[in-house]
């Protein structure tokens, strides 16, 4: 019999874990496979860990890793994938925004059709603040123009994967992790299912607008070097302009002398160039910071407890 591991990162989710667990078990009979729960307590400050411990006592199929502090969802997913022993692995959120009723269908597709992975995306952005969905759309347009790795708009981290694909993902030990990119980068045949956005079962989202913005910058830096290319092109354009201007000014000075004027234009040009230089330096700096973190070879997460 096949074994399916559910990888579930949890950060301050005391209200949702049991709801999630019970909901998944409702579909167990349709699965014709053994289940394994791999919860990751991402340094929660509430009773998340206590609930996981209690569940582990009640049900030996429940396993967990608990981090020494909050390492972020990406680290949680990675730890969960390492913990999972199943023939198939599913990554999903604990708040039931990734509906468990899709599990039997996903299992069927990966097992009987010629796919290694079933991925999900939301069919609409209904229920999301309009500003947020506007920026989300912009982000996906931008990153797909700039990167050869396809990042699907509205893709969720709810995925059903074969062991082969999971092993490939675990081998990718980069420190700056952007799952939506890694899943796509490793390749394999993926079928996409779309579903309506579901509200959180309980508790609150951990993403603020700012953290989403930072996350999108991470994504762009990790999967594209186009910003570096743009800064070089900008430099080149300004170089050509300045050479032309230089000739113009020298010739004009030789023909008409050198009347002292043009202070405003000079200041504008200096400001423009100064800001361009800072912008480009900043872009280069962002990539260097990523190299810096990557070369440190820091651990992606630190385990405090495991069962
Ligand atoms: N999560 C986590 N670490 C974090 C933030 C979130 O493990 O630092 C987990 C969280 O418990 C949930 C999932 O990631 O299972 C998705 O989080 P959330 O529902 O807050 O995000 P949203 O669905 O709003 O994108
Ligand atoms: Mg959620």
Nearest CA to ligand 1 atom 19: 205
Asked whether the beta carbons of 22 and 276 are under 8 A apart, the reply is: no
Q: Are 43 and 126 within one domain?
A: yes
Question: Does 49 map to a domain?
Answer: yes
Q: Are 230 and 98 within one domain?
A: no
* 275 touches ligand 1 (CB under 6 Å): no
Query: Cα(first)–Cα(last) distance of the chain, in Å?
Result: 23
Q: What is the pTM of this model?
A: 0.77
Question: How far, rounded to the nearest angstrom, does the alpha carbon of residue 13 sit from its chain's CA centroid?
Answer: 20
- Residue 38's alpha-carbon distances to 13, 35, 44, 79, in angstroms, are 15, 10, 16, 9
Give the model's pLDDT for residue 81: 93
Q: Are 236 and 113 within one domain?
A: no
183: nearest Cα among 74, 281, 262? 74
Q: How far is the CA of 44 from the centre of ligand 1 (A)?
A: 11
Q: What are phi and psi of 101, to 5 degrees?
A: -65, -10
Give the model's pLDDT for residue 258: 67
Q: Are 237 and 127 within one domain?
A: no
Question: Does 138 map to a domain?
Answer: yes
Asked whether the beta carbons of 74 and 4 are under 8 A apart, the reply is: no
Q: Are 135 and 249 within one domain?
A: no
Residues in the chain, pLDDT under 70 = 258-260
Question: Does 64 map to a domain?
Answer: yes
Question: Does 237 map to a domain?
Answer: yes
Among 6, 9, 78, which is best to mutate for testing ligand 1, by the most ligand atoms less than 8 A from CB? Answer: 9
Residue 195 CA to residue 122 CA, distance in Å, equals: 5
Question: Does 106 map to a domain?
Answer: yes
Give the model's pLDDT for residue 259: 67
* 15 touches ligand 1 (CB under 6 Å): no
Cα 277–Cα 281–Cα 286 angle in degrees, nearest 5: 150
* 219 touches ligand 1 (CB under 6 Å): no
Tokens of 178: 């952007």
Q: Are 112 and 256 within one domain?
A: no
Question: Does 214 map to a domain?
Answer: no
- Residue 300's alpha-carbon distances to 44, 49, 61, 183, 256, in angstroms, are 17, 20, 25, 17, 66
Q: Are 151 and 236 within one domain?
A: no
Q: Are 116 and 265 within one domain?
A: no
Number of domains in the chain: 2
Asked whether the beta carbons of 13 and 203 are under 8 A apart, the reply is: yes
* 94 touches ligand 1 (CB under 6 Å): yes
Q: Are 175 and 243 within one domain?
A: no
Question: Does 221 map to a domain?
Answer: no
Give the range of the structural domain holding residue 49, as residue numbers without chain letter: 3-208+299-306
Question: Does 82 map to a domain?
Answer: yes
* 97 touches ligand 1 (CB under 6 Å): yes
Q: What is the CATH number of the domain that holds 53?
A: 3.90.550.10
Q: Are 22 and 106 within one domain?
A: yes
Q: Are 10 and 60 within one domain?
A: yes
82: nearest Cα among 180, 171, 183, 177? 171
Q: Are 54 and 183 within one domain?
A: yes
Nearest-atom number in ligand 1 for the CA of 94 is: 15
Asked whether the beta carbons of 65 and 305 are under 8 A apart, the reply is: yes
Residue 5 CA to residue 81 CA, distance in Å, equals: 9
């Amino acid at each position: 019999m096949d074994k399916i591991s559910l990888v579930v990162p949890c950060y301050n989710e005391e209200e949702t874990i049991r709801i999630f667990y019970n909901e998944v078990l409702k579909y167990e009979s349709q699965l014709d496979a053994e289940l394994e729960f791999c919860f990751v307590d991402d340094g929660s400050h509430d009773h998340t860990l206590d609930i996981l411990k209690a569940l582990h006592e009640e049900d030996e199929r429940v396993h967990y890793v608990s981090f020494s502090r909050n390492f972020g969802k990406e680290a949680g997913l990675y730890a969960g994938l390492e913990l999972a022993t199943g023939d198939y692995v599913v990554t999903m959120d604990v708040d039931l925004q990734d509906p468990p009723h899709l599990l039997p269908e996903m299992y069927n597709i990966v097992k009987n059709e010629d796919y290694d992975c079933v991925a999900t995306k939301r069919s609409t952005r209904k229920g999301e603040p309009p500003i947020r969905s506007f920026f989300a759309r912009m982000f996906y347009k931008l990153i797909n123009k700039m990167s050869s790795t396809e990042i699907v708009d509205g893709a969720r981290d709810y995925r059903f994967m074969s062991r082969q694909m999971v092993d490939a993902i675990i081998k990718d030990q980069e420190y700056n992790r952007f799952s939506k990119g890694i899943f796509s980068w490793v390749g394999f045949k993926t079928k996409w299912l779309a579903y309506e956005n579901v509200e959180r079962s309980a508790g609150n989202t951990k993403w603020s607008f700012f953290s989403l913005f930072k996350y999108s910058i991470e994504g762009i830096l990790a999967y594209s070097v186009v910003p570096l290319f743009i800064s070089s092109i900008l430099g080149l354009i300004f170089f050509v302009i300045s050479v032309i201007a230089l000739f113009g000014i020298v010739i004009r000075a030789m023909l008409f002398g050198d009347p002292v004027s043009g202070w405003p234009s000079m200041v504008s040009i200096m400001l423009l160039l100064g800001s361009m230089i800072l912008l480009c330096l900043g872009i280069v700096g962002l990539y260097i910071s990523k190299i810096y973190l990557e070369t440190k070879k820091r651990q992606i997460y630190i385990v405090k407890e495991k069962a």
